[in-house]
Amino acid sequence: MQTGIVLSNISDLYKVELNNIVYDCNARGKFKSNDISPVSGDIVDIDIINDEKKTGVITKIHDRKNYFKRPKMANLSQIILVVSMKMPKVDLELLDKQLIFAEYNHVKPIICLNKIDLENEEKIEYISNIYTQIGYKVIKTNAKEGIGVEELKKELQNNITAFSGNSGVGKSTLINNILETDITLEGEISNKNKRGKNTTTQVKLYKIDENSYVADTPGFSTFDVKEIDKKELAKYFIEFRPYLNKCEYGDCSHIKEEKCAVKEAVQQGKISKARYERYCKLWNEYVSKY
Ligand code: GDP
Ligand code: ZN
Q: DSSP assignment of 161-214, as one string?
A: EEEE--TTSSHHHHHHHHHTS-------S-EE-TTS-EE--B--EEEEETTEEE
Q: How far does CA 229 lie from the centroid of its chain?
A: 20
pLDDT along the chain (290 residues), means of 10: 95 93 91 83 96 96 91 94 97 95 94 98 98 98 96 96 93 91 62 49 87 88 76 95 96 95 98 97 75
Tell me the C-alpha distance between 278 and 56, whole Å.
Answer: 50
Q: Which residues, 6 or more positions from 38, have their beta carbon under 8 angstroms from its beta carbon?
A: 6, 9, 14, 27, 31, 44, 58, 61
Residue 55: predicted pLDDT = 98
C-alpha span between 229 and 68 (Å, rounded): 19
Q: How much distance in Å is there from the Cα of 269 to the middle of ligand 2?
A: 15
Max distance between CA atoms of the chain, in angstroms, equals 72
Handedness of CA 40, 181, 98, 199 (dihedral sign): negative
In this structure, the chain runs to a length of 290
Counting ligand 1 atoms within 8 A of each CB, the residue from 173, 184, 214 with the most, and so the one to mutate, is: 173
The pLDDT assigned to 201 comes to: 63
The 10 Å CB-count burial string (b at 16+, else e) for 58-96 is bebbeebeeebebbbbbbbbbbbbbbbbeeeebeeebbb
Distance CA 262, CA 255 (A): 9
Determine the distance separating the centroid of ligand 2 and the alpha carbon of 257, expressed in angstroms: 7
Ligand 1 closest atom vs CA 165? 3
157 neighbors 211 (Cβ within 8 angstroms): yes
| Rounded CA separation 187/200 (Å) | 8
Q: Tell me, rounded to whole angstroms, the distance of Cα 289 from its chain centroid.
A: 26
- Are the C-beta atoms of 226 and 286 separated by less than 8 Å? yes
Closest ligand relative to 257 C-alpha: 2
Q: Of the residues 81, 144, 183, 186, which should be mutated to test ligand 1's pocket, given the most ligand atoms within 8 Å of the CB?
A: 144
pLDDT at residue 230, rounded to an integer: 87
User: How far is ligand 2, taken at its centre, from the CA of residue 137, in Å?
Assistant: 27
Q: What is the dihedral of CA 174, 179, 182, 185, to 10 degrees?
A: -60
Nearest-ligand number for the alpha carbon of 251: 2
The model's pTM: 0.91
Q: What is the DSSP letter of 238?
A: G
**Protein residue closest via CA to atom 18 of ligand 1:** 170
235-270 burial, b if ≥16 CB within 10 A, otherwise e?
ebbebbeebeeebeeeebbbeeeeebbbbebbeeee
Cα–Cα distance measured from residue 130 to residue 123, given in angstroms and rounded to the nearest whole number = 11
Distance (Å) from CA 175 to ligand 1 centroid = 11
Measured in angstroms, how far is the CA atom of residue 232 from the centroid of ligand 2?
12
Q: Whose CA is nearest to atom 11 of ligand 1?
A: 168
What residues line ligand 1, using a CB cutoff of 6 Å? 114-115, 117-118, 142-144, 165, 167-173, 185
Kind of pairing between the strands at 55-61 and 21-27: parallel
List beta partners, residue 5: 17, 43
**Is the CA virtual torsion 278, 152, 205, 191 positive or negative?**
positive
- Closest ligand to C-alpha of residue 240 is 2
169 CA closest ligand 1 atom index: 3
Closest Cα to atom 7, ligand 1: which residue? Answer: 170
Surface-to-core class of residue 19, CB atoms within 10 Å of its CB (0-12 exposed, 13-18 middle, 19+ buried): exposed
